[in-house]
Structure 1
Amino acid sequence: MAKPYLKFISAGIWIIEHNEFLSSSERFWNLTDKEMDSLVHQLPALSCAANIDSQSGNLFLLLLNTLFASQCALKNPNLYPPDKAANLRDGDHFDFIVVGAGSAGSVVARRLMETEKWKILLVEAGGFPSITTEIPGLFFNIELTTDETWGYFTEPSEKSCKGFKNGACHWPRGKVLGGCSSINGMIYIRGYKENYDSWSESGNEGWDNDNLKQYFKRSERLMEEQSKYKNMYGNEGSIPLTRYQNNETIRNILLQSANELGYNKQPEEGHTGFVESLQNIEGGTRYNAAKILIARTNITDKITLALNAHLQKIMIDNKNMKAEGIELKIGEKTMKIYSDREVILSAGAINSPQILMLSGIGPEEHLREKGIEVIQDLKVGENLQDHVLLPIFSKISDQAIKPTELTDDIYQYFVHKKGFFSNTGLLNILGFLNTKNHTNYPDLQIMYYSFPKNNAAVLETFLESINLDKIISQQLISHNKKSNILISCIIAAQPKSRGKILLKNADPLSKPSIFTGYFTDERNEDMKALLEGVRFVEAQLRTNAFKTINAEVLDIGIPNCKNFEFNSDAYWECAMTNTATTVYHPTSTCKMGPKNDQHAVVDSRLKVHGIKNLRVIDASIMPKIVSVNTQSSVFMIGQKGAEMIIEDHLSSENN
């Protein structure tokens, strides 16, 4: 089903082609979905210089002129280095090869570019980001695409994801320049002191909270001139940080209800509480990590960017146990590219372990089973951690959400970069709670999202993006016809369960097997924490603030949970195994740890144990997942990892 905002944009294409208003718009609204999709795909090809002229519908045409001019601004080719994949030749040499142009890889490449004599190759399996990725309000739509995500789905389990199509949770990961920073919710919040200190205490020197602050600051450019946090965040980095706030009824009610329950301190100051978090959004557009590659610099000749380039494996000299380069496939052409210094793997918590295993680095028994020569036996792909999310759906009264007109929303965005499409709504309201001992180290996080009454297209997009079962989805759509819907997303911030990544086979183009491990911890702590979260949401809906909008938790008719009394502990435990899913934060599959840690894959300088000239720098190295959204920590890992590379190579040259 073509989405309404795409239909509106597509109308402009029809008018340009036919130079008619009344007849073409009449024809337009009767287009089939197939015809509509065809028109939508033509949008990026429109000439940026095209002018529209007509005797009727002048205001509409003026809007379309502005829309297309804005489209060209969003699709500015100067935002990124040029794609030089076609220039690569078999046998080419670079000083460093960085695999993955995501949140960490882009940071690493940018830092290495600053050393004048080094040549850098940055390899990305995806292409340039689409216009859709630039628009914050469309982030759920991006997760539906297969062009800009890897299209991963988890393996079926009796413990989780049973209420999703085919018993599989959708795990969208970025397959595009910018990686997950081009498709995520853009939340930027640092972890708690205890998160990073625990990394250091597990044998990783230099990874304590106090030492890591400087690496956060190097990426940050706080855009709040009057903020009381001005000295906490960096002001000279490349990633712009802004804070969406407004006077919407539902936002005010959420924050007031938190105050009523005693959560009036700031997580940014290290407390449990509620916050309107920062996001990497500037001027109403997403600022993905890849934009830092040319931000404030003219050194793009130091980097060769290769897009739509699929890594086959890392080439390793198994006599000297040394990474020599990569085997790369671009189109139908396979080539070997050599690194004179290092290969840096920044492909993320799913792809980095997959690539290592394809290259012969991983669990010995598993690699032999897949017919792969074992070079180094390490626990690659194990220790998978993720923030599991349980959605609670509530109905709220009409006055809670002010209705808007789609055409007005589009106008406000493309003309002023304001309104619905310029932000992510309630998503940046974050709550952090400790359900056990009420300390300032949270074991629960809460996020929110809302859907206006009778707005099936937006709700359908969300439900499709998470792959929810059709029966449950239809129940929610039916509820939405009668009322606004608020989703309270309860998240296990310190998950005890562990999953793993395995290879399906030895084919580099095959997707790996993802075993989430949700709710497999022996003491059932994750389920208990989420159950405490359910009761917190109930208490929140009983506050005076929420009483003004008649909030009520909905029974969404989960087929597998019909034998349990709604709202009982047993019902919610059943709901967890059916409708709990990912909040898109997989980590820890290439665990950082000392050599005597049998589960460690890399050391504290992010070098793969036993292999020279090979590092992993991304979310997969976290020994333990942080208690907040992971994006800021991945930027930090990129900064610290790059500095260690520079230190190691410049010091060896000086000696």
Structure 2
Amino acid sequence: MESCFERWFSDNLSRPYDYIVIGGGTAGCVVASRLTEDPEVTVLLLEAGGWDDKSEIHIPAEASSLRQTNIDWKYLTISQSHACKAKLGERDEWSSGKVIGGCSSIDNMYYARGHEADFNSWASLGADGWSWEEVLPFFIHSEGNVREDFKKSPSHNNNGHLRVSDNAVTTNIGKTFVKAARELGYQQRDLTSAMDIGVGIPQATTSNGKRCSTATAYLKIALERPNLAVITNALVQKVVICNNQAIGVHVTVDKKERDVRVLREVILSAGTIESPKGILSSNGIEGTALLRTGVDPLCEWPDIQLNFIPMFFHLGNDEPTLTRYKSLSYDNMMDYSKWEALRMKKEGVTFLLILLHPKSKGELTLQKQDPEAPPNIDPRYLEHDQDVAILKKGMREVKRLLDTNTMRKSKIELCDVRLPGEPLAFSDENLDAYIRHFTSTANSPVGTCKMGAINDRSAVVDPQLRVRGIHGLRVIDASIMPHLPSANSSAPTIMIAEKGVAYITNEHDDIIQRYKQSTGASL
């Protein structure tokens, strides 16, 4: 009788690979680079987008110009019942990098790990081996921080692949913000490794004034290795499963369908939206809900992140209005804020409140059995009243900040921001309306392939990131997070990639042991 391998690969002319990595994004570049450090291992990296040769990718100031372009998946949510009231169709735009480097090639480069309680919560939820003490060595393993005063810090590393540096441009107004926050009692902290609530100027994944994506940090150094093959503009149709074993992938390249056999494992690193699509499509599942974001935390940690952004750009004479845009995206709101500052002939700042741990739970479903069709994304923003209550608290904290002596001396005051026909007042009713109108994503969705214990029926992967019920298939990207850390998802995703590869190569315990020896830590 013909075997599964003979039947499926009978017409395949491609060579087999030990590992096939689907997605050359933030995690995929790390995975491919680390696996090919072993010259005896062959790896095929498949990326749906193209190479990161667009010059704007590497210029930090151009980050916002990259969204909603041909290197962005340009996802769109379904209409929201409780939010996005100022947006066309009450829908939100979700950006995700469709290019080598993925989101690390188009994001704002903010480097933050999250709070230790975030990862301890992961472990408490059944992700054994993912407590703060067990993930910290992998954050440090990846980091190449250029700050001289961090060289002897047990929380930092100067020699990792990912370059991390202070912002090249600092402003007096940013220093004023820090001073005002300290007046309110906030402690100034190292935001890359802070364990407590605090204030500071964040570092970024930049090097010598240029973006340091995972493509730059990891993949570029691996491209000369003969055991790595990279194919761009490759759309994976499905992972091929035979007798509960991943045996290869079916992929379209240049409009031609190809079959590629895998000898060891297929690794999904396609991101929070595309990785679950890969699992569902591979199992022939259509229209089945997979995404359930938002997990009740077991520990106490910050709920709000407050970003303070100076605005001093020339926009020309084209006046933006909130109703002129087809959708009120983050960038459009930034344009509006910049124009308001110019209209008043003053420098301005914008406060961005980010809800770090929403209670509202979203859902992702496939529209149809077509890898090119976008999924139905329903984040269900602000469905839980506690989310609105926390954001109201954050807005009132902004007002308290503006009322400090530091801000008053600097003549920084709240401008007359209006809802349709009404000035902003700080009553519950007005704040509720404002929050539900001006809602936008921070572009860090997680949890679609949740990691958890073997007996957790809601978990897609086990703590070593192996897909339950399918041999030879792992997920290594942001989709495995049980919930979002108190940060954006970039640095935690790189940590996940480092740790995931270490499980595959059996180097996991060695990396932790080296960290212990270098710091005298007791893990």
Q: TM-score range by the shorter chain?
A: 0.7 to 0.9
Alignment match of 1:288 (pick from 200, 203, 213): 213
Alignment match of 2:106 (pick from 166, 175, 183): 183
Three-state SS of the structure 2 residue aligned to 1:608 is: coil
Three-state SS of the structure 2 residue aligned to 1:274 is: coil
In 1, Cα distance between equivalents of 2:490 and 2:99: 16
Partner of 2:310: 450
In 2, Cα distance between equivalents of 1:311 and 1:532: 44
In 2, Cα distance between equivalents of 1:239 and 1:458: 40
Partner of 2:361: 498
* Contact 1:263 1:272 (8 Å CA) reproduced: yes
Establish whether residue 149 from structure 1 lines up as the match of residue 10 from structure 2.
no
Partner of 1:536: 397
In 2, Cα distance between equivalents of 1:621 and 1:127: 25
Q: How many Å apart are 1:608 and its aligned residue?
A: 0.7
In 1, Cα distance between equivalents of 2:394 and 2:427: 14
* Contact 2:450 2:460 (8 Å CA) reproduced: yes
Establish whether residue 309 from structure 1 lines up as the match of residue 224 from structure 2.
no
Partner of 1:84: none
Counterpart amino acid of 1:154? T
Partner of 1:510: 373
Establish whether residue 160 from structure 1 lines up as the match of residue 86 from structure 2.
no
Distance 1:518 1:265, change over 3 A: same
In 2, Cα distance between equivalents of 1:210 and 1:329: 42
- Aligned pairs (5 A) from 1:577-588: 577-588=436-447
RMSD: 2.9
Establish whether residue 567 from structure 1 lines up as the match of residue 426 from structure 2.
yes
Partner of 1:214: 137
| 1:63-109 deviation line (CA, Å, top 9, x unaligned) | xxxxxxxxxxxxxxxxxxxxxxxxxx744311100011111111111
Counterpart amino acid of 1:142? L
In 1, Cα distance between equivalents of 2:380 and 2:433: 16
User: In terms of Rg, which structure is larger?
Assistant: 1
| 1:514-559 deviation line (CA, Å, top 9, x unaligned) | 11121122xx211111111001000111111211333332344333
Q: How many Å apart are 1:507 and its aligned residue?
A: 1.4
In 1, Cα distance between equivalents of 2:490 and 2:307: 16
| 1:540-594 deviation line (CA, Å, top 9, x unaligned) | 11111211333332344333xx579733211111122211111111001111012
- Aligned pairs (5 A) from 1:51-130: 90-129=13-52, 130=54
In 1, Cα distance between equivalents of 2:333 and 2:145: 44
In 1, Cα distance between equivalents of 2:331 and 2:219: 43
Counterpart amino acid of 1:328? V
Counterpart amino acid of 1:640? K
* Contact 2:174 2:308 (8 Å CA) reproduced: no
* Contact 1:124 1:308 (8 Å CA) reproduced: yes
Three-state SS of the structure 1 residue aligned to 2:466 is: coil
Q: How many Å apart are 1:245 and its aligned residue?
A: 6.2
Distance 1:517 1:646, change over 3 A: same
Distance 1:228 1:442, change over 3 A: farther
Equivalences, count: 489
* Contact 2:306 2:354 (8 Å CA) reproduced: yes
Q: How many Å apart are 1:112 and its aligned residue?
A: 0.6
Establish whether residue 480 from structure 1 lines up as the match of residue 342 from structure 2.
yes
* Contact 1:385 1:586 (8 Å CA) reproduced: no
In 1, Cα distance between equivalents of 2:319 and 2:278: 36
Q: How many Å apart are 1:509 and its aligned residue?
A: 0.8
In 1, Cα distance between equivalents of 2:336 and 2:183: 35
Distance 1:109 1:617, change over 3 A: same
Establish whether residue 382 from structure 1 lines up as the match of residue 291 from structure 2.
yes
Distance 1:458 1:154, change over 3 A: farther
Three-state SS of the structure 1 residue aligned to 2:418 is: coil
Partner of 1:225: 148
Q: How many Å apart are 1:131 and its aligned residue?
A: 0.5
Alignment match of 1:271 (pick from 190, 196, 221): 196
Distance 1:515 1:339, change over 3 A: same
Partner of 1:136: 60
In 2, Cα distance between equivalents of 1:119 and 1:142: 33
Q: How many Å apart are 1:231 and its aligned residue?
A: 2.8
Alignment match of 1:617 (pick from 476, 481, 484): 476
Q: How many Å apart are 1:226 and its aligned residue?
A: 2.5
In 2, Cα distance between equivalents of 1:525 and 1:343: 40
Distance 1:623 1:143, change over 3 A: same
* Contact 2:162 2:218 (8 Å CA) reproduced: no
- Aligned pairs (5 A) from 1:590-609: 590-609=449-468
Three-state SS of the structure 2 residue aligned to 1:180 is: helix
Structure 1, unaligned runs of 5 or more: 1-88, 362-366, 371-378, 387-438, 650-655
* Contact 1:354 1:501 (8 Å CA) reproduced: no
Establish whether residue 324 from structure 1 lines up as the match of residue 247 from structure 2.
yes
Three-state SS of the structure 2 residue aligned to 1:305 is: strand
| 1:15-34 deviation line (CA, Å, top 9, x unaligned) | xxxxxxxxxxxxxxxxxxxx
Counterpart amino acid of 1:513? N
Counterpart amino acid of 2:443? Y
Partner of 2:5: none
In 2, Cα distance between equivalents of 1:115 and 1:470: 46
> Taking structure 2 as the reference length, what is the TM-score of the superposition?
0.87
In 2, Cα distance between equivalents of 1:191 and 1:467: 25
Distance 1:229 1:488, change over 3 A: farther
In 2, Cα distance between equivalents of 1:127 and 1:517: 32
In 2, Cα distance between equivalents of 1:470 and 1:235: 37
Structure 2, unaligned runs of 5 or more: 1-11, 509-523
Distance 1:615 1:459, change over 3 A: farther
Q: How many Å apart are 1:647 and its aligned residue?
A: 2.2
Counterpart amino acid of 2:216? K
Three-state SS of the structure 1 residue aligned to 2:400 is: helix
In 2, Cα distance between equivalents of 1:637 and 1:508: 25
Three-state SS of the structure 2 residue aligned to 1:585 is: coil
| 1:339-363 deviation line (CA, Å, top 9, x unaligned) | 11110000111111122111127xx
Establish whether residue 336 from structure 1 lines up as the match of residue 259 from structure 2.
yes
* Contact 1:174 1:182 (8 Å CA) reproduced: yes
In 1, Cα distance between equivalents of 2:321 and 2:26: 25
Q: How many Å apart are 1:249 and its aligned residue?
A: 2.0
Three-state SS of the structure 1 residue aligned to 2:199 is: strand
Q: How many Å apart are 1:612 and its aligned residue?
A: 0.7
In 2, Cα distance between equivalents of 1:310 and 1:296: 24
Counterpart amino acid of 1:283? N
Distance 1:270 1:120, change over 3 A: same
* Contact 2:329 2:440 (8 Å CA) reproduced: no
In 2, Cα distance between equivalents of 1:595 and 1:631: 27
In 1, Cα distance between equivalents of 2:237 and 2:431: 44
In 2, Cα distance between equivalents of 1:330 and 1:238: 30
Q: How many Å apart are 1:295 and its aligned residue?
A: 5.3
| 1:376-427 deviation line (CA, Å, top 9, x unaligned) | xxx86322359xxxxxxxxxxxxxxxxxxxxxxxxxxxxxxxxxxxxxxxxx
Q: How many Å apart are 1:460 and its aligned residue?
A: 6.2
Distance 1:305 1:474, change over 3 A: closer
Partner of 2:406: 545
Q: How many Å apart are 1:640 and its aligned residue?
A: 0.6
> Taking structure 1 as the reference length, what is the TM-score of the superposition?
0.70
In 2, Cα distance between equivalents of 1:232 and 1:470: 37
Three-state SS of the structure 1 residue aligned to 2:339 is: helix
In 1, Cα distance between equivalents of 2:331 and 2:144: 41
